[in-house]
Amino acid sequence: MSTGGLGRGVGVIGAGYVGLTLSVFLASKGVKTICVERDGDKVRKIMDGVSPIHEQGLPELLQHVVRDGVLEARDEIGDMLERVDIVFITVGTPTGTDGVPDLSQVEEASRQIGEAMPTRRGATPLIVVKSTVPPGTTWHVVRPLIEEASGRTCGEEFHLCVNPEFLREGSALQDTMNPDRIVIGAKHGEAAERLKKFYEALYHPSKIPTLVTTPTNAELIKLATNAFLALKISFINLISQVCEATEDGDVGVVAEGLGLDPRIGPLFLRAGLGFGGSCLPKDLRSLRWFAARLGVDTLLFEAIIGINRAQRLRIVEKAESMLGGLSGKRVAVLGLAFKPGTDDVRESASIDIIRELLARGAEVRVHDPAALENARRVLGEGVTYCSELYECLDSADLAIIATEWPEYTDPDPSTIKSLMRKPLIIDGRRVLNTRRLLEAGIRIHTVGLYSPLA
């Protein structure tokens, strides 16, 4: 395969959802890719052709590129810098509940790159920060760390860009193959131009809208995007609370009407249990923290976070009132991943809901088609893990649908009635085909829909 314009090879530091997807995609385009991952288990899995994460289409492609020797994973940077022209930093950037960013992974990766740089010969390396970082990080944290560790100067002996990632878990590979935009932030025109050319060659013949700007703007575009998406979700969830309090409101219809306005659009107007995952909550907190440090009023950010938290708690309160108390009641929670199509449980609504159910004395059974293993690491042994949906519903007093997996949309009414102690369901994601269930006498509370249930 011709890799015209794509250079000798690419290094990727961090084989998480972003780094591994990027690595597999690049390798599938024939670009020799070396992925450095500090977690030895992940490295072994990748080299065995097994994907350590659940993402549609990834396992097949991964197996293919590893077998062909185009993708290589390792747990140390070693001579990686020697063999590539571009290095992407795709390590994690978690934040605490106060939003203070933990940049330790980015700092470590920057130092490692810097330390490996002096032995490198040949063309100027281009370092690209793909991790989501607070404004100023690329220039004021990454650059000095690389310069210190390498003794080399940015703009002369190495190039540096920030290039935020917008993929969505659940469709990570598709999004990486067809990005809706490319944002490049750089202080030096040559650095930005190199990355732009690389992407033009990678996505040729498609032309992806590309914005070249300062590092601060690029970093802010990523945080503002996620804060805005979170705003849309919290907004529709607030409207869903209004709908529930009316005599015939339905947030689905209200959202449909809202979305027909081209100034608003239909996406991210799905009421439910709020946003979770590894990006929206933490990026919103990070932006709030950053804005507060600059003396900017963060009232709107507080409100988005507050509505999201309340939406989870409301479900537990609804369950409590439907059952007349939770102590000793068996609750089946369907869905642990923060969204369907992924095994990621980071900041998942169902994890908070389960903890609150347990705190109020409920006995909790859980099911998820992909995330049981990850959930066990977070929740421990306090809940019963069920690999079968109907096993989870066994003798339950109530079921809560917490993730919109397709397998939850059309359960068999007679099986539910025979299995559950009480046929009560809270549809937290508005996925149920309710007609058959209601006809069979199953009682359902749907988020954002007026319901006479207690």
Q: Which residues bind ligand NAD (CB under 6 A)?
A: 13-19, 36-39, 42, 90-93, 105, 108-109, 112, 131-132, 165, 167, 169, 278-279
Q: Rounded to whole angstroms, what are the CA distances from 448 to 30, 278, 346, 398?
A: 48, 25, 25, 19
Nearer to ligand NAD among residue 172 and residue 251 (C-beta) = 172
Shortest gap between Cβ of 384 and ligand NAD (angstroms)? 27
Burial environment of residue 447 by CB neighbours within 10 A (0 to 12, 13 to 18, 19 or more): buried
Omega before 209 within 30 of 0, i.e. cis: no
**Nearest by Cα to 126 from 168, 177, 64, 188:** 188
3-state DSSP assignment of residue 10? strand
Q: How far apart are CA 128 and CA 5, in angstroms?
A: 17
Burial environment of residue 358 by CB neighbours within 10 A (0 to 12, 13 to 18, 19 or more): middle
Q: Rounded to whole angstroms, what are the CA distances from 76 to 13, 112, 125, 257?
A: 9, 9, 18, 53
Sheet holding 71-74, edge to edge: 71-74, 33-36, 10-13, 86-89, 126-129, 159-162, 182-185, 210-213
Q: Write the CB contacts of 77 (distance below 8 Å, at least 6 apart in sequence).
A: 11, 13, 36, 112, 113, 115, 116
Shortest gap between Cβ of 222 and ligand NAD (angstroms)? 7
Shortest gap between Cβ of 19 and ligand NAD (angstroms)? 6
Shortest gap between Cβ of 200 and ligand NAD (angstroms)? 22
Looking at beta carbons, which residue is closest to ligand NAD?
A: 16
Check 35, 243, 279, 392 and give the catalytic one.
279
Query: How many residues belong to the chain?
Result: 454
Nearer to ligand NAD among residue 172 and residue 398 (C-beta) = 172
Is residue 279 annotated as a catalytic residue, yes or no? yes
Nearer to ligand NAD among residue 91 and residue 424 (C-beta) = 91
Q: How far apart are CA 94 and CA 106, in angstroms?
A: 11
Q: How far apart are CA 375 and CA 202, in angstroms?
A: 36
Q: How far apart are CA 34 and CA 197, in angstroms?
A: 20
Nearer to ligand NAD among residue 109 and residue 231 (C-beta) = 109
Question: What percent of the residues of the chain are helix, what percent strand, and what percent coil, each to the nearest 5?
Answer: 45, 15, 40
Nearer to ligand NAD among residue 132 and residue 446 (C-beta) = 132
Shortest gap between Cβ of 36 and ligand NAD (angstroms)? 5
Shortest gap between Cβ of 112 and ligand NAD (angstroms)? 6
Q: How far apart are CA 70 and CA 222, in angstroms?
A: 30
Burial environment of residue 418 by CB neighbours within 10 A (0 to 12, 13 to 18, 19 or more): exposed
Nearer to ligand NAD among residue 127 and residue 426 (C-beta) = 127
Nearer to ligand NAD among residue 137 and residue 446 (C-beta) = 137
Shortest gap between Cβ of 16 and ligand NAD (angstroms)? 2
DSSP string, 175-215: HHHS-S-EEEE-SSHHHHHHHHHHHHHHHTTS---EEEE-H
**DSSP 8-state secondary structure symbol assigned to residue 142:** I
Rounded to 5 degrees, what are φ and ψ at 269? Answer: -115, 40
Helices then strands, counting H and E runs in the chain, come out as 18, 14
Nearer to ligand NAD among residue 283 and residue 427 (C-beta) = 283
Shortest gap between Cβ of 15 and ligand NAD (angstroms)? 5
Catalytic positions:
279
